[in-house]
Amino acid sequence: VKVAEPIDLQKNVRVGRREKFGETQLNCVDLLNQLQARVPRDAYVVMGVTMSDLFPGPDWNFVFGMARIKNRVGVFSFARYGDEPKLALNRAMKVISHETGHAFGIRHCTHFHCLMNGSNGMNETDRAPLHVCPSCLRKLYWGLQFDPALRYQKLGEFLTEENMADQSAWFQKRATMIRP
């Protein structure tokens, strides 16, 4: 992971206000346009991260994040995950991983209960697993050629460090099941 220079949000990014709440939002289509112009040749994905709320257009209230499947860019906001740190981290990991999956070219999954299922609200996000299904894992593997057992092990270790025992146990079990 490399951290790029921040984008100047005063230039070329429309700002909106949620009429009901008066909160400032950033137009994520404009952000994606800015990011798309900055994708290095050697990058897999460029993901914008913001604390500001996002909206893609006037007919939308908000989005948690958005990505362009063919352009290797996405944007993600921490704005709507609540005040409880562990729950907020769990939600953020799901959404940023989901948007990163889109930026890798993976569409919404309709085969299994999967991180790449579509979500129309926080309840659906909360019900989504933190892992991808076998079909979506295969798509990631095809593009990246990683060691799935090592990936599961590292994710399990990270989740253990973050005191997320249930999620950690799932990943650690998968790591031991597929290790030669």
Report the relative pairing of strands 24-27 and 46-50 from DSSP bridges.
unpaired
One-character DSSP codes across 105-129? T-----SSS-TTS--SSHHHHHHS-
Question: For residue 22, what pLDDT is reported?
Answer: 61
| 73/47 Cα distance (integer angstroms) | 6
| 151/149 Cα distance (integer angstroms) | 5
Q: Which of 92, 95, 46, 96 is nearest to 71 (CA)?
A: 46
Which one is catalytic: 5, 23, 99, 162?
99
pLDDT tens sequence for the chain (180 residues): 899 888 887 776 777 665 555 677 888 998 999 899 999 999 999 999 999 899 898 888 889 999 999 999 999 999 989 899 999 999 999 999 999 999 989 999 999 999 999 998 999 999 999 999 999 999 999 989 999 999 999 999 999 999 999 999 999 999 999 876
Question: For residue 129, what pLDDT is reported?
Answer: 96
| 60/73 Cα distance (integer angstroms) | 20
Q: Which residues pair with 75 in a beta bridge?
A: 48, 66
Taking the CA atoms of residue 114, residue 162, residue 150 and residue 167 in that order, the dihedral angle to the nearest 10 degrees is -30
Q: Which of 111, 109, 101, 97 is nearest to 159 (CA)?
A: 97
Q: Does the active-site annotation cover 99? A: yes
